[in-house]
Amino acid sequence: MALAASDPELYAMLERERARQRDGVELIPSENYVSAAVLEAMGTVFTNKYSEGYPGRRYYGGNEVIDEVERLAQARARALFGVPHANVQPYSGSPANLAVYLATCQPGDVIMGQNLPDGGHLTHGWKVSATGIYYKSVPYHVRPDGYIDVDEVRALARAHRPRLIWCGATAYVREFPFAHFAEIADEVGAYFAADIAHIAGLVVGGAHASPVPHAHVVTTTTHKTLRGPRGAMILVTERGLARDPELAEKVDRAIFPGLQGGPHDHTTAAIAVALGEAARPEFATYARQVVANAKALGAALVEQGFTLVTGGTDNHMLLVDLTPGGPGRGTFVQEALDAVGITVNKNTIPGEPVSAFYPSGVRLGTPAATTRGMRESEMRQLAAWMRRVHDEITPYRLPEEREARNQVLREFREAIRQNRALEMMRAEVRELCRRFPVPGIG
């Protein structure tokens, strides 16, 4: 490889990451493995081109092939989601969401989104995000049972008359009530935006309801369940164009020149490849298996004595409430699982008793494991390992005194590094993973 000869230091890091992905189980719900074809598209000469503007309206010459690539990605997105307009240029999900604000709102307008500690996203109006600084954010919440409080959404919308209402989340395990949001948005005259970054692959695979008949605009990343590169798309629906015939043009102007310069053409090419893959019948089979695996993993975790937010899942994601073992337990469980090769992420739970820095839950997802070919039996094995790991670290608790926490975590990390039982489990996890090759890695 040219990289190995040109930069052996970086190549060594690449090989270590390749081994980590091959020999461990990725259970972070926002992660997945792309196909060898998507990987190949990402590493092509398309990365050499600069192409500010849109197909047929570029500010640089030499874009005749790039125009074909972007038009192909747009056409595949429109067909796959059933929308009249698709912008495939957003660098990631956050700028895609910010573009929706620019297209529909003025600074200072009232907006509504799911509260971040309740599973929402930073860009839906959280206070440290630009979306919470430049717009007046009125967050809604989940009920004590973990479901979105639709009655609260309606009451807040009637009281505050928002310009824009978001439905979408980073840690919500049930099907989104898109129709209810559409009714509420219509009642108060708001735009309704659905952020389906997590569930896009499930939507096109028929494993989750689509927001397209209900929302005015839809945003999504192209990785996660859609199994593409790290990019994003903005989709304008027929309903959106009926609300504002210029909405598609406003979205395009918000992306360029409003927020971005030249698109990443190698990413656009890889998005086109991923959308082509998602249109095949086998992708629908994959999407259904993702949900089946999540349900199987959830049931097995409950059998192992864990508590799940809402008691289960409708999608690819599970949120484990670890407060029975003490508040702030998520950090300990995440790092201990990492030590055996099971990658999860610590996460707040509804009514979080500590903070996002020391959350009391972990978030799990099945897209990546399903891509490797793992099925229900492997989900049960993963749940058993999680129970064993959890029990190994039972003595460790998050101190109430803030100044004592760093010392306890240092001691904990050294203890798990030397833990013989965890080391033996690491070998078991590695053995399982070797039976399920990673696309593009082996």
Task: Name the catalytic one among 50, 54, 134, 147.
Answer: 50
Task: Name the catalytic one among 52, 175, 376, 428.
Answer: 52
User: By C-alpha distance, which of 382, 344, 437 is closest to 18?
Assistant: 437
195 as an active site residue: the answer is yes
Q: Evaluate whether 250 touches 244 at the Cβ level (below 8 Å).
A: yes
Inter-CA distances, 186 with 13, 77, 109, 120, 439, Å:
52, 26, 17, 22, 44
Q: Count the Cβ atoms, other than its own, within 10 Å of residue 280.
A: 10
191 as an active site residue: the answer is no
50 as an active site residue: the answer is yes
Q: Evaluate whether 52 touches 261 at the Cβ level (below 8 Å).
A: yes
- The one-character DSSP state at 26 is E
Q: Evaluate whether 97 touches 167 at the Cβ level (below 8 Å).
A: no
* Buried-state track 100-138, b at ≥16 Cβ within 10 A, e below 16: bbbbbbeeebbbbbbbbbbbbbbbbbbeebebbebbebb
Task: Name the catalytic one among 154, 230, 380, 397.
Answer: 230
| DSSP E strands, 155-228 | 164-167, 191-195, 217-221
Give the list of residues 6+ apart from residue 333 with CB closer than 8 angstroms, or none: 320, 322, 344, 346, 362, 386, 389, 390, 393
Give the list of residues 6+ apart from residue 406 with CB closer than 8 angstroms, or none: none
230 as an active site residue: the answer is yes
3-class state of residue 108 by DSSP:
coil
Interatomic CA distance for residues 146 and 100, integer angstroms: 27
User: By C-alpha distance, which of 370, 273, 361, 318 is closest to 46?
Assistant: 273
Type of residue at 406: N
64 as an active site residue: the answer is no
Q: Evaluate whether 87 touches 70 at the Cβ level (below 8 Å).
A: no
Task: Name the catalytic one among 26, 70, 118, 195.
Answer: 195
Q: Backbone dihedral region of 104: left (phi > 0), alpha (psi from -120 to 50 degrees) or beta?
A: alpha
Task: Name the catalytic one among 49, 224, 239, 372.
Answer: 224
Q: Evaluate whether 17 touches 422 at the Cβ level (below 8 Å).
A: no
3-class state of residue 33 by DSSP:
coil
Residues annotated as catalytic (active site), given as ranges:
50, 52, 195, 221, 224, 230
